[in-house]
Structure 1
Amino acid sequence: MSTVADSEHPSQSGHEVAVVGAGPVGLLLAGDLAERGIRVVVLERENEPHSGPKANGIVGSAAVALAKRGILTGTRLRVMTPPRFQFGSLPLRLGFGPGNPLHILPVPQRRLEELLERRAVAAGAVIRRGCEVLGFAQDADGVDVDAREDGATASVRALYLVGCDGAHSVVRKSAGIGFPGFTSDRIARIARVCIPADVITVMRTADELTIRGVGSVAPMRPNRMPGGSFSIAPVRALDPTAPDDLYLINTHEPRGQAEPTDPLPVEELRASLRRVLGADLSFTDATAARSIVANSRQADAYKVGRAFVAGDAAHIFNAGGSALNAGLNDAIELAVRLAAVLRSGAPVGELNGYETVRRAAGERTLVHTRAQAALERDDDGTNALRDIVGEVLNGRGASRRLARLMEQG
């Protein structure tokens, strides 16, 4: 519902920047702008925040940026430098101490959105939920956003528009920006499930789980299995209030003719687990079950006139933690440049630097996420490549070099 009156001119409506999408990227951008005194409105199609699980954390420098902003203050969330991590299905041995370049923040996306929205609203940003953006037009002085709100058409005028509205971005499409790339030939099936205590045993170091009928698996990372890959994580690692028997499970296998499904039938989840694990996994109470097919794409442009794209509207990767890291860094960079123009008297050309910097960063992330996906394939050539690369990564120096690439975002 709208909290401010619509207007045809920014000086009347008070909107200097309109952000489309109240996900983590849009909310961080709104908060960064509002804290600099910029009048910002966020237009979000959904009436309520998404309650199901999405991303489970941030991998890279954006985690540190959030901590520096005080967003984690008063929570139990902590940025960590993991001594071990994964590059695709290969382990990175990063070690302890200041030489470890990789930062991670385990956090459910919904919790992250709550924290970012609270900060943005406290700083003066306006969040308009139930406001579906249909398109926009721009002129020399600003942008007119066409929307549907409360069953009626609405128009929002702002000086600048930023599309943080996801992979199917209306802003990107309305701006005529291409989105080249490819769709994976593998499918992931994801769910939260309750696994009885007599089915799963957590080893003392918590680095290994033993599943009845399956054997030992490593938590929080992909495990190569007979029919694909499998990952499992205790939800308590992300939400300390979750019950001990609640786990997030994920299978990856060849897609065939399957299409992504939300919600995913439990029977399909069980069948996928049976194919991937080579055995049945006993569980109850499957929730938030869905299947997804990964894409790897980057927008042809990040800026057209007064309109910008950021986050999944600008790029999508097949590694969720890296995708969120890149999107949040988009928001950080764009906020600095918009503030320089709107508050510090910088020339408008300053905004062109956003595309220069962030497209290059997106290209780097495309490279390393595509490499990770390639290393997870199961064929003779990839198996040989994985053996060679795995030997190289036994050295801490090589592991840390890859970790620095993942950190940048």
Structure 2
Amino acid sequence: MRQPELTADGVSGHEWDVVVAGAGPVGLLLAGELAGAGIRTLVLEAAEEPSTIPKANGIVGRSARDLAKRGILAGSGMRVLSPRRFQFGPLALDLGTGPGNPLHILPIPQRRLEQLLEDRAIASGATLRRGHAVTGFTQDASQVQIEVRAAQGAAHVTTAFLVGCDGARSLVRKHAGIGFPGFTSEEIARIARVTIPGEAIARVDGGFDIRGVGRVAGMRPNRLPGGGFSIAPVSVLDPSAPADLYVISTHEPRGDAEPSDRMLVDELRASARRVLGADLPFTAADAIRSTVGNSRHADAYRVGRVLLAGDAAHIFNAGGSGLNAGIQDAFDLAARLVATIRDGATADTLDGYEANRRPAVERVLDHTRVQAALTRDDDVGRALRAVMGELLADRAAARTAARLLESA
């Protein structure tokens, strides 16, 4: 559901209980939770249109079940699964089947998830304005004054609370003066959707046989002399996708390279050649981008009436845990804001947000950093893979690791 064109003044002069900066999955979920409880909620998104770049490939962990329980997946054709096998970094966890399998996943393209959450938020009464960027704010004991920039002009929005769900480079976090300590990976990943003709690739047990390349595992990292490589059919997430469309990624030492959402196909081909030792036989590529992993945690989740959730508060360098943690942020924070705004709860209620979420996120940081360490192409990495691989071959141990992925 797309919002009608509105002027920048269309967001000012109204009384807002909560303004959410950022219309990603976490911001949209938070808005839907708040609006459904009668909270006057505005979402401001800097981009004019939703991004078409493929990002997260689904949700891993308890958030998948939580979304299903709320009916958000009803009628979507999407369903929560408990996979028999799943990755812990480069290692495969054999989890088995039945009620003893603790892990839940929801294979869903991020844009599809965003559309479901956007529709729900608007149907619940939230207001969404795309092309409206938060550029600054001030706050006092009773409200937050937000500066907004749009194509139609500037606006000033007043709200009781501002929540930054505006990603890893969060303006809200930076403007609030909240630190974001952690570290940046020494590897760069190049990611794209590519077309590989059927005659150039064949499915084999657990992976693919690619012409000129040989056999590689599917749906998990491959450690090769030139770096890392992964490949997965897009149809795993989108059954309507062409059978010859794949998502690939390469991982190499970063050097002087900088991440970018705009990358030339020649750079992708050259990276694949360095990693695989041969040319990857794809005929077309789109959504080409590069990323550098970060593992960071905000110094605070709240400064007065300004709060953070999702990637604005924490980012992980492995493990696909970002959405799981961000969704749990949204559920926790929404309940506390409703209790504070509608039900008159004390300030301790909002203080409990960070008290509850910080230790949970610290645990996610721990296991994602372990997963990243397991991929290292050095003596330490090889020793970790040998020892951890032996330990995780035990199903009880594998399920213990899966419970780490499940929680957030």
TM-score, structure 1 normalization = 0.96
CA distance in 2, matches of 1:2, 1:24: 25
Matches within 5 A, 1:3-402: 5-7=10-12, 13-203=14-204, 207-319=206-318, 321-402=320-401
Q: Determine what percentage of the aligned residue pairs are the same residue.
A: 63
Residue 272 of structure 1 aligns to which amino acid in structure 2? Answer: S
Structure 1 residues 32 and 272, CA gap change in structure 2 (3 angstroms): same
Residue deviations 1:205-227 (CA, integer Å, cap 9, x gap): 6x321112222222111111221
Displacement of 1:6 in angstroms is 4.2
Letter in structure 2 aligned against 1:167: A
Report if aligned partners of 1:163, 1:172 keep a CA contact under 8 Å in 2: yes
Give the whole-Å Cα distance in 2 for the aligned partners of 1:320 and 1:131: 32
Deviation at 1:253, TM superposition (A): 1.4
CA distance in structure 2 between the aligned counterparts of 1:262 and 1:228, rounded to whole angstroms: 21
Deviation at residue 167 of structure 1 after TM alignment: 0.8
Amino acid in structure 2 at the alignment position of 1:361: A
Q: Distance in 2 between matches of 1:319 and 1:93?
A: 19
Q: Distance in 1 between matches of 2:217 and 2:24?
A: 30
Q: Is the 8 A contact 2:12 2:158 kept in 1?
A: yes
The question of whether the paired residues in 1 share the 8 Å contact of 2:45 and 2:133 is answered with yes
Q: Distance in 1 between matches of 2:104 and 2:335?
A: 22
Q: Output the amino acid matched with 1:32.
A: E
8 Å Cα contact 2:89/2:319 also seen in 1: no
CA 1:194–1:228: 2 relative to 1, 3 Å? same
Task: After superposition, give the CA deviation of every residue in 1:81-124 in whole Å (9 maximum; x if it has no partner).
Answer: 11111111011111101111111111111111000000000000
Greater CA drift, 192-201 or 380-389: 380-389
Per-residue deviation, 1:3: 8.3
Structure 1 residues 235, 397: CA separation in 2 closer, same or farther (over 3 Å shift)?
same
CA distance in 1, matches of 2:10, 2:140: 22
Taking the aligned partners of 1:177 and 1:267, their CA distance within structure 2 comes to 39
SS in 1 for 2:247: strand
User: What amino acid is the match of 1:185?
Assistant: E
CA contact (8 A) 1:58 1:321 kept: yes
Structure 2 residue runs of 5 or longer lacking an equivalent are 1-5
Contact residue 213 and residue 278 of structure 2 kept, 8 A: yes
Distance in 1 of aligned mates of 2:102 and 2:251: 28
| Partner amino acid, structure 2, of 1:114 | Q
Which deviations, in whole Å up to 9, do the C-alpha atoms of 1:345-391 show, x marking residues without a partner? 32122000101111111111111111111100111222122101100
Q: Which amino acid aligns with 1:58?
A: I
Pairwise CA RMSD:
1.3
Distance in 2 (CA, whole Å) between partners of 1:263 and 1:357 is 38
Give 3-state SS (helix, strand or coil) of 1:325's partner: helix
Give, in angstroms, the shift of residue 4 of structure 1. Answer: 7.3
Contact kept in structure 2, 1:101 and 1:407, CA below 8 Å: yes
TM-fit CA distance, 1:2? 4.7
Residue identity opposite 1:290 in structure 2: R
Q: What is the letter of the counterpart of residue 327 of structure 1?
A: G
TM-score normalised to structure 2 length: 0.96
Secondary structure at the aligned position of 1:251 is classed as: strand
| Aligned counterparts of 2:288 and 2:12: Cα–Cα separation in 1 | 42
Deviations 1:314-362 (A, max 9, x none): 0111236201111111101100111111222321220001011111111
CA distance in 1, matches of 2:228, 2:176: 38
Corresponding letter in the other structure for 1:174: H
Cα distance in 1 for partners of 2:12, 2:129 equals 15
User: In structure 1, what is the Cα distance between the partners aligned to 2:181 and 2:351?
Assistant: 21
What does the per-residue CA deviation read over 1:240-269, in whole Å, with 9 as the maximum and x for residues that have no partner?
111000000011111122121321111111
C-alpha distance in 1 between matches for 2:288 and 2:200: 20
| Alignment partners' CA distance in 2, 1:86 and 1:42 | 35
Q: Which moved more, 1:148-157 or 1:131-140?
A: 148-157
Aligned-partner SS, 2:279 = coil
TM-aligned CA deviation for residue 150 of structure 1: 2.7
Separation in 2, partners of 1:321, 1:36: 30
Given that 1:89 and 1:375 are in contact with CA atoms closer than 8 Å, whether structure 2 keeps it comes out as yes
The amino acid that maps onto 1:217 is V
Deviations 1:266-298 (A, max 9, x none): 111111111111111100110000111111111
CA distance, structure 1, for counterparts of residue 398 and residue 276 of structure 2: 29
